[in-house]
């Protein structure tokens, strides 16, 4: 009878262990099935981004009077991953760029002299090809750098008068700016992160510096500089 009781306890213990192993195995199997839905290292990714540009220019004798000209960026990206960590990100964006000078002495309407802020706005269609290094599994971080090519689509000069004007005169005047070269070549360097919010969908946040390498003037010297913050949405295939 004692032997039978021992066998009964042993069988019950083995049954309990078997149930525990089965439960853990089922749990791990469930994680294994759901985890890939939230990975961001698929072969192809695409999405939309929009954000803020902070623009300036590098040129001789401009630092003292120069301000920061804000603008917008909006566009789409496509990323092809060669592996979990390396890929190529291509960005096509509409970029509001340019530069600003503050408190310049200009001629006012009525042939008098006064102060004004001068805003030179150049808008581009930009194409960027950016080799990308990515780290992380659930939430990923990435670093990229590569060439940029911008096509000029708009070139305007805005004069904002700061002193009082005679009645009937506008406080700001928009005119065509000095002619600029139609193509702007540069390099972009940036970092970003992707945060999963649903299967195959991530929020992305990019911080980027675009450095112009070519002179934008047809006669003169000046290279555009842009610091960008661009949140967006990313979809993994």
Give me the residue spans of the domains in the chain.
1-38, 41-236
Establish how many alpha carbons lie within 13 A of residue 119's alpha carbon, considering only the half-sphere containing its beta carbon: 18
Return d(Cα 133, Cα 39) in angstroms, integer: 16
pLDDT the model gives residue 41: 52
Lowest mean pLDDT among 71-75, 140-144, 162-166: 162-166
The reported pLDDT for the residue numbered 33 is 44
CA 107 to chain centre: 39
- Distance between CA 212 and CA 208 in Å, rounded? 13
pLDDT score for 38 = 46
Q: How many CB atoms lie within 10 A of CB 91?
A: 24
Bigger pLDDT: 120 vs 164: 120
Check residue 32 and give its pLDDT: 42
Q: Is 235 helix (H, G, I), strand (E, B) or coil?
A: strand
Give the CATH architecture of domain 41-236.
Beta Barrel (2.40)
Mean pLDDT of the chain: 83
Contacts of 68 by beta carbon, 8 Å cutoff, 6+ apart? 54, 55, 56, 100
Q: Residue 232: how many CB atoms within 10 A of its CB?
A: 20
The predicted model scores a pTM of 0.77
pLDDT band at residue 31, thresholds of 50, 70 and 90?
A: very low
* Residue 163, SS3 per DSSP: coil
pLDDT tops 90 at residue 114:
no
**Mean pLDDT of the 182-199 span:** 96
224 with 190: CB under 8 angstroms? no
Q: Judge contact between 210 and 188, C-beta under 8 A.
A: yes
């Amino acid at each position: 009878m004692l032997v039978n009781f021992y066998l009964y306890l042993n069988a019950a213990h083995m049954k309990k262990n078997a149930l525990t192993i089965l439960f853990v195995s089922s749990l791990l199997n469930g994680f294994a099935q759901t985890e890939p839905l939230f990975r961001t290292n698929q072969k192809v990714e695409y999405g939309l981004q929009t954000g803020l540009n902070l623009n300036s220019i590098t040129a001789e004798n401009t630092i003292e009077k120069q301000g920061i000209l804000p603008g917008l960026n909006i566009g789409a990206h496509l990323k092809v991953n060669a592996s979990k960590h390396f890929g190529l990100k291509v960005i096509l964006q509409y970029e509001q760029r340019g530069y600003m000078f503050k408190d310049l002495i200009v001629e006012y309407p009525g042939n008098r002299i006064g102060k004004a802020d001068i805003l030179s706005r150049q808008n581009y269609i930009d194409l960027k090809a950016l080799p990308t290094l990515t780290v992380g599994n659930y939430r990923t971080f990435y670093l990229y750098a590569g060439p940029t090519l911008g096509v000029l689509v708009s070139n305007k000069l805005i004069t904002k008068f700061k002193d009082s004007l005679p009645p009937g005169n506008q406080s700001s005047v928009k005119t065509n700016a000095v002619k600029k070269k139609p193509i702007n070549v540069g390099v972009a360097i940036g970092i970003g992160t992707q945060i999963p919010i649903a299967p195959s969908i991530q929020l992305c946040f990019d911080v980027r510096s675009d450095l112009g390498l070519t002179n934008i003037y047809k006669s003169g010297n000046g290279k555009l500089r842009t610091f960008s913050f661009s949140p967006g949405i990313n979809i993994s295939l």
